[in-house]
Amino acid sequence: MLRFVARRLVWMVITLAAISFVTFVVIKLPPGDYTTTVIANAEARGQDIPDSQIAELKRHYGLDKPFIVQYLTWIKGVVLHGDLGQSFAWNQSVASLIGNRVLLSMVLSIASLLFVWAIAFPIGIYSALRQYSGGDYLASFLGFIGMAVPEFMLALVMMYIGFRYFGQSVGGLFSPEYADAAWNLGKLLDLISHLWVPIVVVGVAGTAGLIRITRANLLDELHKPYVATARAKGLPEWKLLLKYPVRMSLSPFFSTVGWLLPGLISGETIVSVVMSLPTSGPLLLGAVKSQDMYLVGSFVLILSTLTVIGTMLSDLALAWWDPRIRTRFQKG
């Protein structure tokens, strides 16, 4: 088991190195760089920036150096000092820029995730056990609607409802009076009272999908011979269903749970834009548009790190859950 984890860690480092490099290449691919954005903005205001000043900017940001040097300088900072570099557009260090937003993104996403699980698993299990019943059809119907309605649409509708009927200050995660306040109990409660709308919006599509997956997985297991064995043993119906087929049906779920991790900090971008939530998604979107390369690179690097960590965690979770996988790990 330890050997397995160690081997995976080595591969993770190699994978991340490759990803960071490719990311850098991709950011560099479009013609121009951040100075192009600066010039365009200046021209839009009717100003003209002299060439000498542009050269000065390029030198200041290191954009005049060869590509490979820029990459190595950045990655050296990341690895040796945990320094993600400077954001050109915000003129701040990337770390300070992202920190708070990543935290809020994770709060929102984890809360949505728990919401999704709490709703989707019981409904999916019920749907499979009572296949073709009225409840199953209702769950399927609502599920398909949930998957089909775009999130931004749902966000707008929820904001309308929240504003019209509950008189809430919609948009954002905080009421105006708390937005810049330091953390205290009032601010926390305010956050919770705002959080439910984005949670529902972000969670609905995931809930719908997970209901379908849970239902299909369980239907596959429900008529296997081992279920008949359990029934022949005289176990009460609900007990045997939960112990045997439901448990089996969750294995595929564990093998994909790791992919949720990167979604935790980037999944709700569109919703965040619509509802103007101070999370990380809109920031990334803006950074990509203005070729703010260290900011984008750091984002992608963080997302990639979370992806590989998530994959590994889900492998470990699956091993914990399913002895067939576990015994294979133990051998090699």
> Can you say whether the dihedral through the CA atoms of 46, 52, 58, 64 is positive or negative?
positive
Among the listed ranges 2-10, 18-26, 88-96, 245-253, the one in contact with other proteins (CB under 8 A) is 245-253
Among the listed ranges 13-21, 31-39, 185-193, 239-247, the one in contact with other proteins (CB under 8 A) is 239-247
**Considering the complex, what minimum distance in angstroms separates the CB of residue 139 from other proteins?**
20
Cα→Cα distances 172→152, 262, 265, 273, Å = 14, 22, 16, 10
Number of residues that bind other proteins (CB under 8 A): 23
Binding residue for other proteins, selected from 1, 72, 228, 242, defined by CB under 8 A: 228
* Residue closer to other proteins, measured from CB, 116 or 246: 246
Using CB under 8 A, which residues numbered 283 to 322 contact other proteins? 321-322
**Considering the complex, what minimum distance in angstroms separates the CB of residue 187 from other proteins?**
45
130 binds other proteins (CB under 8 A): no
Cα→Cα distances 47→8, 42, 50, 58, 194, Å = 54, 5, 10, 19, 42
261-297 as b/e: b if 16+ CB within 10 A? bbbbbbbbbbbbbbbebebbbbbbeebeebbbbbbbb
Among the listed ranges 32-40, 57-65, 194-202, 247-255, the one in contact with other proteins (CB under 8 A) is 247-255
Burial of 238 (0-12, 13-18, 19+ CB in 10 A): exposed
223 binds other proteins (CB under 8 A): yes
**Considering the complex, what minimum distance in angstroms separates the CB of residue 113 from other proteins?**
24
Binding residue for other proteins, selected from 231, 252, 255, 312, defined by CB under 8 A: 231
224 binds other proteins (CB under 8 A): yes
225 binds other proteins (CB under 8 A): yes
219 binds other proteins (CB under 8 A): no
Specify the amino acid at residue 117: W
**Considering the complex, what minimum distance in angstroms separates the CB of residue 226 from other proteins?**
5
Torsion on CA atoms 299, 300, 305, 307, rounded to nearest 10: 120
Nearest CA to 271 out of 114, 148, 142, 153 is that of 153
* Residue numbers at the binding site for other proteins (CB under 8 A): 223-226, 228-236, 243-244, 247-248, 251, 321-324, 327
